[in-house]
């Protein structure tokens, strides 16, 4: 796979996930999807909110730092199919981040618009913006020196 193809495919997946996230917010906000019919005990709602926050706290660093560590390690080894590897790892990272965003969007509306999932979703959006795939990032990894720590 060529650099341009890898970046184009990765950006397409990234943008598709962003569109789905925005569509979910639009559907929930306008009322096309009803989230008010869900009733649970307050302790259950609290436990779900805490679980969502903990998942967010664990998954965002995993997506960003884990991606960076794995791709840097592969860049040092100068693997022959590095572009394919980079493409698959980029897709995994954006999928994890958009899973965090979608989970927090759903929790925000299910839990009655509490602030915890809202802030966690915004952290996920910031991390997703930070991880937008660019050609220069791929080229930096391709030109990564073998002896650099």
> Which burial class, exposed, middle or buried, applies to 70 when counting CB atoms under 10 A from its CB (0-12, 13-18, 19+)?
middle
Q: Per-residue pLDDT averaged across 88-93, rounded?
A: 88
- What integer pLDDT is reported at residue 38 of this predicted model? 67
Give the tens place of pLDDT for each residue, 62-75. 988 888 888 888 88
pLDDT value of residue 11: 86
Q: Return the domain boundaries, the chain.
A: 3-142
User: 98: which 2 tokens?
Assistant: 């958009």
Q: How many CA atoms lie within 13 A of 113 on its CB side?
A: 5
pLDDT tens figures, 7-42: 888 888 888 988 998 898 888 888 777 766 667 777
pTM of the model: 0.81
């Amino acid at each position: 796979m060529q650099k341009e193809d890898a970046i184009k495919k990765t950006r397409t997946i990234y943008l598709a996930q962003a569109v789905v996230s925005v569509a979910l917010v639009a559907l929930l906000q306008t009322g096309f999807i009803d989230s008010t019919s869900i009733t649970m005990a307050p302790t259950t709602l609290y436990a779900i909110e805490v679980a969502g926050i903990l998942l967010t706290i664990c998954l965002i660093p995993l997506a960003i730092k884990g991606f960076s560590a794995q791709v840097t390690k592969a860049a040092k080894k100068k693997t022959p199919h590095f572009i394919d590897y980079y493409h698959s790892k980029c897709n995994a990272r954006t999928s994890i981040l958009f899973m965090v965003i979608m989970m927090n969007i759903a929790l925000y509306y299910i839990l009655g618009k509490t602030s915890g999932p809202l802030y966690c979703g915004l952290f996920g959006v910031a991390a997703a913006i930070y991880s937008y795939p660019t050609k220069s990032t791929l080229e930096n990894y391709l030109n990564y020196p073998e002896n650099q720590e």
